[in-house]
């Protein structure tokens, strides 16, 4: 199984006390190296191209992130920071996702995990928000459609915050299915069941305090059947681990084993419809111990 990462992703500077900090990525990669040693096939994430980014993002956002070249960290909103090193980090995060899609659709790998930051699923077509600059999972999905001619790509998003950017980008694109569980009410206050796109969007919100049994029921009863019926040719995962009980930014009560269970279920769907092909991307998760536990559980399940 391939893992894509890059040192540039550690240099994205969000400032002191920001929850989306470089230590998150170091915790994930360190835990994976300790748990799996040489069993993982590590690759440097390449840069995404402007053409790849422009499939899902407006020129104004691409130029803002890549051409601003701020001398000091610049707050784009109260949560989202553009630092002198952020453009390179964002290019590597999106580029790792593209390379992972190329690898699994080109036959070099069956599954891949992108250990990258900044996260991406809140970034809309024209707006960086929610810690996110470019929407890497959306870039990956568009690449599968355009460069590889796939007709059905599914995105499973289990981050505790709704992937509003991913949903908005593909709400009118029937070739992409978006399935999400998330806490609600919670930032960004989207992801209601009534939001259906063109019949390709499936949201199951969970109230604060829900535990693994409610999370599993949401996927078992609604979201996994929707993906199964869609029969995706590629499965992408927005793997946010901030629904863990230890996470400081939300109030769901998941454990590493809950993530392992869902990952096994998603892998089984990929085996049924997509030749096993899964590309997973790190999104949120802000407690370092929970990140270590959850990322190891997720990758171990992907490898089975």
Q: Where are the domains of the chain?
A: 2-303
pLDDT in tens, the chain (304 residues): 999 999 999 999 999 999 999 999 999 999 999 999 999 999 999 999 999 999 999 999 999 999 999 999 999 999 999 999 999 999 999 999 999 999 999 999 999 999 999 999 999 999 999 999 999 999 999 999 999 999 999 999 999 999 999 999 999 999 999 999 999 999 999 999 999 999 999 999 999 999 999 999 999 999 999 999 999 999 999 999 999 999 999 999 999 999 999 999 999 999 999 999 999 999 999 999 999 999 999 999 999 8
- Clarify whether 18 is annotated catalytic: no
Global pTM value: 0.98
CATH number of the domain located at residue range(s) 2-303 in this protein: 3.40.800.20
**What distance in Å separates the CA atoms of residue 112 and residue 70, rounded to the nearest whole number?**
33
Q: What is the DSSP track for 197-241?
A: TTTTEEEEEE-TT-BHHHHHHHIIIIIHHHHHHH--SEEEEEE--
Of 181, 33, 15, 149, the residue nearest 82 (C-alpha): 15
Active-site option among 122, 162, 182, 273: 122
**What distance in Å separates the CA atoms of residue 139 and residue 218, rounded to the nearest whole number?**
27
């Amino acid at each position: 199984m391939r893992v894509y990462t890059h040192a540039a992703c550690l240099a994205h500077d969000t400032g002191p006390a920001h929850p989306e900090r470089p230590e998150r990525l170091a915790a994930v990669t360190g835990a994976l190296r300790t748990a799996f040693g040489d069993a993982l096939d590590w690759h440097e994430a390449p840069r995404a191209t402007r053409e790849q980014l422009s499939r899902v993002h407006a020129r104004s956002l691409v130029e803002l992130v890549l051409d601003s070249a701020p001398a000091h960290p610049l707050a784009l909103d109260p949560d989202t920071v553009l630092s002198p090193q952020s453009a390179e980090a964002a290019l590597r995060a999106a580029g790792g996702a593209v390379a992972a899609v190329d690898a699994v659709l080109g036959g070099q790998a069956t599954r891949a995990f992108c250990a990258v930051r900044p996260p991406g699923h809140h970034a809309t077509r024209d707006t960086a928000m929610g810690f996110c600059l470019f929407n890497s999972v959306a870039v990956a999905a568009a690449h599968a459609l355009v460069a590889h001619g796939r007709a059905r790509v599914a995105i499973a998003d289990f981050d505790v915050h709704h992937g509003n950017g991913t949903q908005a980008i593909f709400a009118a694109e029937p070739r992409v299915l978006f399935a999400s569980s998330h806490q609600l009410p919670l930032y960004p206050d989207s992801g209601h069941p009534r939001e259906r796109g063109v019949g390709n969007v499936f949201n199951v919100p969970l109230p604060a305090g829900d535990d693994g049994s409610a999370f599993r029921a949401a996927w078992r009863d609604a979201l996994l059947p929707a993906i199964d019926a869609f029969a995706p040719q590629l499965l992408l995962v927005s793997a946010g681990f901030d629904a863990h009980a230890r996470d400081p930014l939300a109030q769901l009560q998941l454990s590493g084993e809950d993530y392992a269970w869902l990952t096994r279920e998603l892998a089984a769907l990929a085996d049924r419809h997509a030749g096993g092909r899964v590309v997973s991307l790190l999104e949120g998760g802000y407690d370092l111990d929970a990140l270590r536990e959850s990322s190891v559980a997720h990758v171990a399940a992907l490898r089975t």
